A = this chain, B = another copy of it.
Amino acid sequence: MSDAVIAYLATHRDAILDRLKVLLRIPSVSTDPAFGPHMDAARDVLLARLRDAGLADARLLESDGQPAIFASWMGAPGKPTLIVYGHYDVQPADPLELWRTPPFEPIEIDGRLYARGASDVKGSTTIAIETVAAFLAVTGGCPVNIKLFLEGEEECGSPSLRGIVARYSDLLAADALLSADGGRASTTVPTVGVGGRGITGLEMTLRTAAKDGHSGRYGGAARNALREIAALLASLHDDQGRIRVAGFGDDAKPISNAMRAAAAALPFDEAQWYADFGGLPWGDPADTVRERTTLRPTIEINGLWGGYTGAGTKTVLPAEAHAKLTLRLAPGMDPAHAQARLRAHLHSHLPDGVQLELTPESGGTPAATLDEEHPMLSAAIGVLERVHGQPAYAARAGGTLPITAIFKEMLGMESMMFGLAMPDEDVHTPNEFFRLSSFDEGLRTWPLLLTELGKLTPADFHRS
């Protein structure tokens, strides 16, 4: 059955790629309200495609924020039911001046499709949708029951996702979640995503005076907000990158030998990793890079600003400074507890009189992990090994897919990530791209995976 579907997808490959490009031309940036109309446009395009594919119940699941898109095909009674997950929002494109081509004008160069969202994750989302559409077109049905769930706030921390899940929990009942987001952990060996770190974040506003001052008049006798925020941020780590926040991570699951072994199983060249990124070592040297990026927590400064940042100089003593921080959470860590530890550190390191306002961006999401014995993982590994002719690996990611933790917590559902993105595709940064070879590969592996999952019973999904 999957052979015919794969052939169909190959025949329609250019039309599918064109549909992906239509989606990539829409700047569906969820974090900035100014892009609201583009979010509407992205939803319209996707709803039309789903209905055209025969998913007549395609609709929006409303929430306080950006609605999710839902569509289902439930014509295989007795077979497993899968939530197929993707998201239609993207990260902001700035800094725009560092893009070599316009971020919302997809362009193919040397086997790569460049555009914001190509890799994260409109490319893999399109593969998932088109696989379902192809099964319906070729065979009139799917090997498993399908509930497509396309989120609109993944790139801003999924603030409304709990609300949607609570409101539509009956509609979203399924045996597991299969995600098009959460891509490969390697450019050289095939991998299946079995979990990610958690995330929480906050924004800091620090004040040292009622107003800005003249740096000649006040300089030397009055605190400078930029100096104070620098000192505060510098106190979070030691010089090598070990976190110096008391109690931060004390609820993390101890890293077992088995966890270290799993992290070490994936072929990974640390020197090459640094060379590809052009970055510098950071973090506890006692941990491998894979451990540091998947099993250890982080506190990262994502943005920092204050004072005069225009052309030339302004001799100002700034009264206010700002920073945006996100924390990645190791397995076991509670987002609220991590926030509390960080807040306690910041307040205890503040000189007398300096004011600090901390705004939580959202409650946060804990880390998530798929059991290594889960039969859908074996199915996915098998498909990848068959297509690639080489061993495939289960791999944790350093990033966060909030839905995996939220569906586990609220619906008791396990998640597996079967995205096609590779780790060097500059997601969240300028010149994001998606390999066209991955696009073509996905149009083969997704039909095979759905076919394999159709050989399992619903009970198989709940055994481990």
Q: In the bound complex, do residue B211 and residue A429 qualify as a contact, i.e. CB atoms below 8 Å apart?
A: yes
Q: In the bound complex, do residue A279 and residue B201 qualify as a contact, i.e. CB atoms below 8 Å apart?
A: no
The reply to whether the CB of A282 lies closer than 8 angstroms to some CB of chain B is yes
Q: In the bound complex, do residue B351 and residue A209 qualify as a contact, i.e. CB atoms below 8 Å apart?
A: no
Q: In the bound complex, do residue A212 and residue B429 qualify as a contact, i.e. CB atoms below 8 Å apart?
A: yes
Q: In the bound complex, do residue B313 and residue A220 qualify as a contact, i.e. CB atoms below 8 Å apart?
A: no
Contacts of A196 in B (CB 8 A): 216
The reply to whether the CB of A261 lies closer than 8 angstroms to some CB of chain B is no
Q: In the bound complex, do residue B301 and residue A224 qualify as a contact, i.e. CB atoms below 8 Å apart?
A: yes
Chain A contact residues, majority secondary structure: loop
How many Å lie between the Cα of A223 and that of B281 in the bound state?
Answer: 6
**Residue in B289, B312, B322 whose CB lies within 8 Å of A32:** B312
Count of this chain's copies in the oligomeric assembly: 2
The residue among A196, A326, A397 with the most chain B CB atoms within 10 A of its own CB is A326
Q: In the bound complex, do residue B305 and residue A304 qualify as a contact, i.e. CB atoms below 8 Å apart?
A: yes
- Chain A interface residue count, CB cutoff 8 Å, equals 98
Contact segment of A12-20, A72-80, A232-240:
A232-240
Q: Mark A213-240, 1 if CB is under 8 A from B, else 0.
A: 1111111111110110111011011010
How many Å lie between the Cα of A302 and that of B319 in the bound state?
Answer: 10
Q: Mark A339-380, 1 if CB is under 8 A from B, else 0.
A: 000000000000111100000010000000000000000000
Q: In the bound complex, do residue B399 and residue A214 qualify as a contact, i.e. CB atoms below 8 Å apart?
A: yes
The reply to whether the CB of A296 lies closer than 8 angstroms to some CB of chain B is yes
The reply to whether the CB of A31 lies closer than 8 angstroms to some CB of chain B is yes
Contact segment of A37-45, A420-428, A449-457:
A420-428
Q: In the bound complex, do residue A209 and residue B279 qualify as a contact, i.e. CB atoms below 8 Å apart?
A: yes
Q: Could you write out 8 A-B pairs with CB less than 8 Å apart?
A: A34-B311, A208-B280, A215-B302, A218-B293, A221-B283, A226-B303, A227-B234, A280-B353
